[in-house]
Chain A
Amino acid sequence: MIIRNGNVVLKDGVQKCDLLIENGRIVKIAENIPANGSEEIDAAGKHVFPGLIDMHVHLRDPGYEYKEDIESGSKAAVKGGFTQICCMPNTNPIMDNKVVVSYVKHKAREVGLCKVHPIGAITKGEKGEQLADIGEMKKAGAVAISDDGVSVKSSRLMRLAMEYASGFDIKCLCHCEDKELVDGGVVNEGLSSTVAGLKGIPRAAEDIMIARDIALAESLDVPVHICHVSTHSGVRLIRDAKKAGVKVTAETCPHYFAVTDELVTGFDTNTKVNPPIREEIDKQAILTGLKDGTLDCIVTDHAPHHINDKNVEYNTAAFGISGIETSFGFAITYLYKTGVLTLPQIAEKMSAAPAKILGLDGGELKEGGVADLTIADLDESFVIDPAKFVSKGKNNPFGGYKLDGVVKYTIVDGEVKYKA
Chain B
Amino acid sequence: MLKRKDLIGLIDATKEEITELLDVAEEMKRHLKAGEKNLPYLKGKTATILFYENSTRTRTSFELAAKYLGATVINIAASSSSVAKGETLVDTGKTLDAQLNDFLIMRHPMGGAPYLLAKVAKAGVLNAGDGMNEHPTQALLDMLTMREYFGRLEGLKVAIVGDIKHSRVAKSNLFGLNAMGAEVRMFAPETLIPKGIDKLGAKLCKTKEEALKNADVVMGLRIQLERQQAGNFPSLNEYAEFYGVDGKSLKLAKPNAIVMHPGPVNRGVELTGKVIDCERSYIEEQVFSGIAVRMAALKLLNDYRESTK
Contacts and interface: CB of A to CB of B under 8 A. Distances in A.
A313 B108 contact: yes
A191 B112 CA distance: 16
Interface stretch (B42-50, B130-138, B285-293): B130-138
B133 A193 contact: no
A189 interface: yes
Interface in B81-131: 88-90, 108, 110-113, 115-116, 130-131
A92 interface: no
Nearest to B112: A267
> By CB atoms of chain A within 10 A, which of B11, B89, B110 has the most?
B110
B89 A313 contact: yes
B200 interface: yes
A200 interface: yes
B195 interface: yes
Nearest to A188: B195
Given A195-B200, A198-B132, A267 B115 contact: yes
Contacts of B115: 267
Nearest to A266: B115
B117 to A, nearest CB: 9
Interface in B34-61: none
Interface string B150-184: 00000000000000000010010000000000000
Contact of A311 (B90, B113, B130, B194): B90
> By CB atoms of chain B within 10 A, which of A190, A308, A314 has the most?
A314
A155 interface: no
Contacts of B116: 267, 311-313
Nearest to A308: B88
B195 A194 contact: yes
Given A195-B11, A197-B133, A198-B132, A313 B196 contact: no
B192 interface: no
Contacts, number: 66
B33 interface: no
Interface string A248-292: 000000000000000000010000000000000000000000000
A315 interface: yes
Tell me what chain A mostly uses at the interface: helix, strand, loop, or mixed: loop
B252 interface: no
A313 B195 contact: no
Contact of B112 (A189, A192, A311, A313): A313
B248 interface: no
B309 interface: no
B131 A315 contact: yes
B228 to A, nearest CB: 16
A196 interface: yes
A144 to B, nearest CB: 35
Contacts of A194: 171, 194-197, 200
Given A191-B200, A312-B88, A315-B131, A198 B195 contact: no
Nearest to A316: B110
Tell me what chain B mostly uses at the interface: helix, strand, loop, or mixed: mixed
A198 B111 CA distance: 6
B196 A314 contact: no
B112 A198 contact: yes
A271 to B, nearest CB: 11
B133 A191 contact: no
Nearest to B120: A311
A28 interface: no
B279 to A, nearest CB: 35
A194 B168 CA distance: 10
A313 B110 contact: yes
Interface size of B as a range: 20 to 34
A312 B89 contact: yes
Contacts of B131: 197-198, 315
Interface in A151-205: 189-200
A196 B197 CA distance: 11
A313 B130 CA distance: 11
A197 B196 contact: no
A326 B110 CA distance: 31
A315 B110 contact: yes
Contacts of B130: 197
Contacts of B112: 196-198, 267, 313-314
A267 B194 CA distance: 18
Nearest to B193: A194
B110 A190 contact: no
A189 B195 CA distance: 7
Contacts of B199: 191
A386 B110 CA distance: 26
Contacts of B195: 189-191, 193-194, 200
A191 B110 contact: no
A190 B131 CA distance: 17
Contact of A191 (B89, B90, B196): B196
Nearest to B111: A197
A236 B196 CA distance: 23
Contacts of B133: 196-198
Contacts of A316: 110
Interface string A187-229: 0011111111111100000000000000000000000000000
A314 B90 contact: no
A199 B132 contact: yes
A193 B216 CA distance: 30
Contacts of B11: 195
Contacts of A314: 110-113
A193 B194 contact: yes
A208 to B, nearest CB: 17
B200 A315 contact: no
A371 B172 CA distance: 60
Contacts of A267: 111-112, 115-116
24 contacts: A189-B195, A191-B195, A191-B200, A192-B196, A194-B171, A194-B196, A196-B111, A197-B111, A197-B112, A198-B112, A198-B132, A199-B132, A200-B194, A200-B195, A308-B88, A312-B88, A312-B90, A313-B89, A313-B108, A313-B112, A313-B116, A314-B111, A315-B110, A315-B111
Interface of B: 11, 88-90, 108, 110-113, 115-116, 130-134, 168, 171, 194-197, 199-200
Given A194-B195, A195-B196, A195-B200, 9 more contacts: A191-B199, A194-B171, A194-B196, A194-B200, A198-B112, A200-B194, A267-B112, A267-B116, A314-B110
Nearest 8 A/B pairs, CB to CB: A197-B133, A191-B196, A267-B112, A197-B111, A197-B132, A194-B194, A315-B110, A313-B110
